[in-house]
Amino acid sequence: MWQEMNKPKMATEKGASRVLMLLGQLERLNEGPKASDTDATRQITGRILHIIQTQEKTRKEMMSKGSSGMDVILSTLENTRDLQTTLNILSILNELLTVGGGRRTGVFVSKGGTAILLQLLVSSSKDLPLNEELMLHIHSLLFKVGPKDRKFGVKARLNGALNVTVNQVKHNLQNHKLLLPCLQVLRVYSGNLVNAVSLGKSGALELMFEIIGPFSKKSTTLLKVALDTLAALLKSKMNARWAVDRGYMPTLLAIYQDWHRNDTRHRHMIIRKSILGCIKNLTNIKLGRKAFIDANGMRILYNTSTECLPVRTLDPLVNTSSLIMRKCFPKNRLPLPTIKSVYQYPLPHILAGGPVAQLHSLPPGVDDVVDESDENEGTEVDTENDTENEDDETGHKTQNDDIETDINKLRPRQMQARPFDELRVYERFCLEFTQYFKVNDFQSPGSVTPLSVDPNLHNPLIIPTKQNRRPKNIQPPRSNDPPLDLDSISISKALEGKPDPDLACSLGRLVLDGEISVNGESVNGPQEESGDQAVIEVPDTAALLPLHDPDLYLEMVKGTRSVPAYTEVAYPDYFGHVALNLREPILERAYGVQRTKIFQDIERLIHPSDILDRVVYDLDNQSCPIPDNGESLKFNSKFESGNLRKAIQIRKFEYDLILNSDINSNHYHQWFYFEVGNMRPGVRYRFNIINCEKSNSQFNYGMQVLMYSVQEAINGSPQWVRTGSDICYYKNHFSRSSIAAGGQKGKSYFSMTFTVTFQQKDDVCYFAYHYPYTYSMLKMHLQKLSGMCTNEIYYRQDELCETLGGNSCPLLTITAMPESSSNEHISQFRSRPVVFLSSRVHPGETNSSWVMKGSLEFLMSCSPQAQSLRESYIFKIIPMLNPDGVINGNHRCSLSGEDLNRQWQNPNAELHPTIYHAKSLLQYLRATGRTPLVFCDYHGHSRKKNVFMYGCSVKETVWQTNVNTSNCDLHEDLGYRTLPKLLSQMAPAFSLSSCSFVVERSKEATARVVVWREIGVQRSYTMESTLCGCDQGKYKGLQIGTRELEEMGAQFCVGLLRLRRFTNPLELHNHNSHLLDMENDLKDPRSIPNITSPTTYVLEEDEPAFLEEVDYSAESNDENDPDFEPDLQDNRVLPDPSSDSEISRQDSLT
C-alpha cells in the first residue's frame, strides 16, 4: 500500500499543519542547490524535531497514510553533509520509530531507510575523531530497525558496516552508554550465519568473552546482550571450534556455576539461560561435546539441574541442561551382535536390488550395529553456504512433493495384466458365479464345498440353498502333517474345587512338544502323571467368547508353521480375551515425565557403579546362562507372534528391552509381545524398549501398553488391560547404524519407557503393543464361524494360496443362499455386486484383525440386517494377507523382508504369493465383468486417533497440486465419498475429517491405489484404525479396545448395506458403469468440508502423515528446528528444540 502513495501534496493543501509546512519547505530545499541552504535545512529539521518531541499528533501526521514525510526526511538524511542536520534527523527518526510499532518501522524499511543508515554509519566512521553522539544515534536506530528488516544482515555486510560496529565495541568497552546499542546491533548482525563467521574473524568472539563474566548485579542488560550475541556467533562451527580451542568450554561452565550459586533468588534466570545457550551451541560440534565431557560438564549440569528441579520457574534451565546432556551423552552401540533379525528364512530366490539382496551384500563380519566409518567434523562450510536466514520464509516448500501430479497416472489404466487363459484358474474361487443347479440337487444334503482340492470346473457343481435343511458343517482343519504333539499339555479344563493358592507358583509354560517346563525346569512326561504338578484351571469363557475354544486353539497351533518352530503357546491366546466393560481413558500425561526419565538415563553415566547390566534374556545366545538369583524377572517370547530379542537388567527394578527385526530384515520392529514372570508385587518396575525407530509415538499422547495377567485370568478376568504409568517416548543415546536408517548417519534410536506395578504374587504377565491376534486365532475363529453357518448363509472357505512359510492363506466367500433354484433367484444370486475385503497385511496392526473379526461375525450373524446385506452382495474376504509375518512376530514385512503393501504393482508369485493371487483374483473378477463395487483393506494407524479411510480421487489429488486443471477437464463420480460419509454418521469411532482421498506417489504400489487404478474399483479404500484411542465422538478421550474395534467392523458392514440403498439397483446390475445417481444427496462435496488432509513425508508408513497434535520436539525432529545450523559434515549433532519450553509443552499434551 505504501507503493501506491503519490507525490507529496501536503504543501498545497489548505490548513496544512505546521509540521507539514516545514516538511514542504524541506522538500523544496532538497530539490535546490544544497550548499547554500545548510543553515535553512538545519533550522527546519531542528523545528520539526522540536514539534514532534512535544506533540504526538504531529508524529501521526508525518506518518499518516499517503504522507510522504518519511521520503522527505530520508532524502534530507541522504543528502546532507551537515552534522547537526544529521543529528536532528536521527533524533526525528528515533522519535518516530519509538512508538507506532512495526508499521512505522515498516515504512522506514520500505523506503530504503536501512541502507541509508548503514551508509551513514560507514561514511561517518571515516571521519576522525568519531562523533560519539552520532554513533549512538545510528546504532540505536539500527537496533530498532534491524529486527524488522528481513534483509538486514545482508545489507549490513554488503555496506561494510560489520567492522564499524565491532570497532565501536572494541573501543568503548568501558563506555556502557555507547556499548549497549552497539552490542545490540552486533546481536542482530550475528543472527546471519555468514555474518557470524565474518564477525568471528574480526575478533567479535574475544570481545564477548571480555564482556561476560562471573555473577554481578551490575550491567545485567549488557551481559545478557553479550551472551546472546556470543550464542549467535557460536552457531558457526568455525567460531565454536575457535572457542573450544581457546578453552572457553570450562570457562562457560564455571560462569554458569557461579551464577547458579549466587543468583539465589532467581532474579537472573534469563542470564543463566543465555549462558546455557552458549554452551548448547558449542556442543553442536564434536569437539565441543568432548570438551564438555572433559570439563565434567555432565556432572555440573546434572547437579545444577537437580538443584533447580524444585523451582518450577527454573524449568527452562533444567530443560536446556537436559538437552545439552543428552547431546553430549556418549553414544552407545546396541548390545547386539547384529541388527539383522535373529531368525533368517531362506528364500526361493532373492530379487537383485531388493532389501534382502542388500542385507546379504554386506561383507561377512561387518558390524552392522554401528557405522564403521568415522565421523568427520569436516571443514568449515558455512562461509560458502550462504544460509541467509533472511530467506527462510521464501525458501519454504509449500507443496507436498509426494502428491501424484502425472495426470496419466491418475487415470485408471484399462490394461489387462495377464491373458484371460491364465486368469481362468481363479474361477475356482468364484464358483458362485458358475455353479448351476438341478432340481434334484436341492434334495441332496447341501453344503458349501470346501475347495482346498482342485475342483473339476467342467462338471456341474452343486450349491446348497435355503431349502436344504441340513446340520451345520464344520470344516476340518487343513491337513498338514502336525509337526507337534499336544498330548502332554499341562492344562486341564476341569478343575474341581477352588484353585490351589500356590497354583501360580507353578505357572509354567504351555509346551507343545511333550516337554513340560514349569518354573524354568523341564519335566518330562505327561502332566497327569506327575502328581506334584499343579494343574492350571482354564477360565470358562465359552459363554462370553463364542468364537474361542482353548482346545480348538491348540489344535490350530499344531498346523501353524513358524520359522523358529515355536513349541509354546502364550496363555492369553489359549485362554482368550474377554473385552473389558471398563472405560479406559487416554492417559493424562504427568508433568515432567520425560525429563525425569532422561535424568535417570543420565545417572547411568554419572553413577556407573549403580548399573547392573545383567542379561536376563537373549535370543541371540540361547545357551547363555540366565541368572536365576530370584532377583531378576524372567522373560520369554518364544511363542506365536512373540517379539522380544533381549532383556537386560539395568537396576534392581529396571530393564532395557530390545525388539527383534522383521525376519530377513534389519529394522521395522515396533510390535512386541512377551511374557514376564518372577515378579514382586507392589514394586514399580521400569521397562525401556530401547531400539524403537519411529520419531514419535502415540505413547507420548496417552496410549498405554497392554498387559494380561494369568492370575487374573484364572480368577475370572481373562483379559488384556491397558496398563503402565510414566509412559514416554524419546530419543535415546543408542546410535543407529546408517545401514538400517536408510543411509542416514548419526541417527539415534528411541526409547519407549513404561512403569508397571504388578498386583499378584507369582504371576505370569504378558505385555503387548496392541491386542494380540495370532494366525492360529484366525483359524480358530474361522472354524467357529463356519460352524455358525445356517441354511440361509452361503459360506465357503478356500485356500487362496500357500505362503512362503508354508501356511495357508484363507479366502472366504460369504453371501446369502439363493432363495430357490428358479432362474430368477439364481440370476439374482449371481448378479450381486462383489465387495472385496482384506486385512492384516501389516502384522503389527493387530487392530485390523479385530475389526475384521467384527465384520465377519456380523456377516455370519442371523440379524435381518446381516441377511439383507448377504442378499445384497457377494463378499470376498482375505482376513490375513500376511500370515507368516503375523506368526513370526514381524511388525511390517513378510518373510521376504518386504512390506507386502508395497508389492501390489508387480507382485512376485513366489515371494509375494498372497498379493500375487489376491491381485490375480481381482483381475479375474474384472475380466469377467464383476469388478468389485467396494474394495477395502483394513489397517492400523500408529500415530493418529480414531478410525478413518483413505481413498482415491483424481480431483482431490489435483486440487492439492499446482497442476493446471484446465488441461485435464475432469468428470469424476463422487461416489467414493459416500461410504466414509455414511460411516461417520453411524460408527462412533469413525472420523470423516481424518479421511483423505489424495493419491500419493509413495503409495502407488499399495493395494488401495493399484486396485483403484488397475482394477478400476472407484471405491477403493484403506481403512485405518487407531492403536490408541479417539478424540471425537462417543469414545472421545478413551483408548480403543477390542469391543470398539469389532463394533467398527460390524458398522462397516451396516455402512455397506446403506450404500446399497443409496445405489440404484439397475445400475448396480451394471455396476462397472460407475455413475450411481442415487448417491447425489451424499456426494455433494460442499457437504464434506475439509475432508482431505494434506499429506507430508512419511517414511516406512503407508498412511499420509498427520498434522495432529504430535509435537516432534527436542529429541525427535531434525528438520523442524529453525535455529539449527544445517550441517552436512557433522551428523552426530542432535536436534535442538526451537524453544526450551518444548519438553514441558509436550508434557502438557494429552
Residues assigned a catalytic role:
1024
How far apart are CB 697 and Zn ion at their closest, in Å? 15
| Cell numbers found for residue 7 | 507525490
Stretch that binds Zn ion, among 57-65, 559-567, 765-773, 934-942 (CB under 5 A): 934-942
Four-residue CA torsion sign, 549, 550, 555, 557: positive
Are the CB atoms for 974 and 1032 separated by under 8 Å?
A: no
Are the CB atoms for 804 and 884 separated by under 8 Å?
A: yes
How far apart are CB 999 and Zn ion at their closest, in Å? 17
Q: Which is nearer to Zn ion, 191 or 843 (CB)?
A: 843
Are the CB atoms for 356 and 756 separated by under 8 Å?
A: no
Distance CA 48, CA 25 (A): 11
* Beta bridge partners of residue 939, listed in sequence order: 1024
Decide: is 892 part of the binding site for Zn ion (CB under 5 A): no
How far apart are CB 415 and Zn ion at their closest, in Å? 27
Pairing of strands 793-802, 808-816: antiparallel
Stretch that binds Zn ion, among 403-411, 810-818, 931-939, 1106-1114 (CB under 5 A): 931-939
Distance CA 816, CA 790 (A): 10
Distance CA 268, CA 116 (A): 37
| Cell numbers found for residue 872 | 445384497
Stretch that binds Zn ion, among 214-222, 433-441, 562-570, 937-945 (CB under 5 A): 937-945
Q: Which is nearer to Zn ion, 548 or 939 (CB)?
A: 939
How far apart are CB 839 and Zn ion at their closest, in Å? 9
Nearest to 433 by CA among 744, 815, 710: 815
Are the CB atoms for 933 and 1019 separated by under 8 Å?
A: yes
Q: Which is nearer to Zn ion, 137 or 939 (CB)?
A: 939
Nearest to 237 by CA among 369, 431, 383: 383
Question: To which H or E segment does residue 811 belong?
Answer: strand 808-816
For residue 928, give every residue at least 6 positions away whose Cβ sits within 8 Å of its Cβ, in sequence order, or none.
Answer: 430, 433
Pairing of strands 705-709, 673-677: unpaired
Other C-beta atoms lying within 10 Å of the C-beta of residue 439 = 8
Residues 230-259 that bind Zn ion (CB under 5 A): none
How far apart are CB 893 and Zn ion at their closest, in Å? 11
How far apart are CB 1022 and Zn ion at their closest, in Å? 8
Among 939, 943, 1008, 1071, binds Zn ion (CB under 5 A): 939
Site string for Zn ion, 558-587 (x = CB under 5 A): ------------------------------
Residues 834-873 that bind Zn ion (CB under 5 A): 842, 845
Q: Would you state the torsion angle of the CA atoms of residues 799, 803, 806, 807, taken in this order, to the nearest 10 degrees?
A: -50
* Beta bridge partners of residue 836, listed in sequence order: 876, 935
At 686, give phi and psi (nearest 5°): -105, 130
Distance CA 710, CA 840 (A): 27
Other C-beta atoms lying within 10 Å of the C-beta of residue 294 = 10
Are the CB atoms for 83 and 129 separated by under 8 Å?
A: no
Q: Which is nearer to Zn ion, 620 or 1101 (CB)?
A: 1101
Q: Which is nearer to Zn ion, 693 or 845 (CB)?
A: 845
At 798, give phi and psi (nearest 5°): -110, 165
Q: Which is nearer to Zn ion, 149 or 845 (CB)?
A: 845
How far apart are CB 537 and Zn ion at their closest, in Å? 38
Q: Which is nearer to Zn ion, 340 or 1003 (CB)?
A: 1003
Q: Which is nearer to Zn ion, 747 or 944 (CB)?
A: 944
Q: Which is nearer to Zn ion, 42 or 1008 (CB)?
A: 1008
Are the CB atoms for 5 and 66 separated by under 8 Å?
A: yes
Q: Helices (DSSP H) in 645-774: which residue ranges?
A: 710-714
Q: Which is nearer to Zn ion, 327 or 902 (CB)?
A: 902
How far apart are CB 704 and Zn ion at their closest, in Å? 21
How far apart are CB 843 and Zn ion at their closest, in Å? 10
Q: Which is nearer to Zn ion, 273 or 842 (CB)?
A: 842
Q: Which is nearer to Zn ion, 747 or 941 (CB)?
A: 941
Distance CA 507, CA 535 (A): 9
Stretch that binds Zn ion, among 160-168, 415-423, 477-485, 935-943 (CB under 5 A): 935-943
Residues 756-815 that bind Zn ion (CB under 5 A): none
Nearest to 538 by CA among 719, 714, 762, 766: 714
Nearest to 270 by CA among 307, 306, 304, 316: 316
How far apart are CB 941 and Zn ion at their closest, in Å? 7
Pairing of strands 614-618, 646-651: antiparallel
Nearest to 572 by CA among 676, 756, 719, 717: 719
Find the radius of gyration of the CA atoms of the chain.
Answer: 36
Stretch that binds Zn ion, among 284-292, 831-839, 936-944, 977-985 (CB under 5 A): 936-944
How far apart are CB 931 and Zn ion at their closest, in Å? 24
Distance CA 671, CA 667 (A): 11
For residue 973, give every residue at least 6 positions away whose Cβ sits within 8 Å of its Cβ, in sequence order, or none.
Answer: 1018, 1074, 1075, 1076, 1083
Are the CB atoms for 271 and 256 separated by under 8 Å?
A: no
Helix, strand, or coil (residue 1002): helix
Distance CA 773, CA 887 (A): 10
Q: How far is CA 497 from the centre of its chain?
A: 51
Burial tier of 220 (Cβ tally within 10 Å: 0-12, 13-18, 19+) = middle
Q: Which is nearer to Zn ion, 667 or 842 (CB)?
A: 842
How far apart are CB 987 and Zn ion at their closest, in Å? 19
Question: Which residue of this chain has its Cβ atom nearest to Zn ion in the complex?
Answer: 939
How far apart are CB 665 and Zn ion at their closest, in Å? 16
Number of residues in contact with Zn ion, rule: CB under 5 A? Answer: 3
Distance CA 976, CA 999 (A): 13
User: Which residues of the chain form contacts with Zn ion (CB under 5 A)?
Assistant: 842, 845, 939
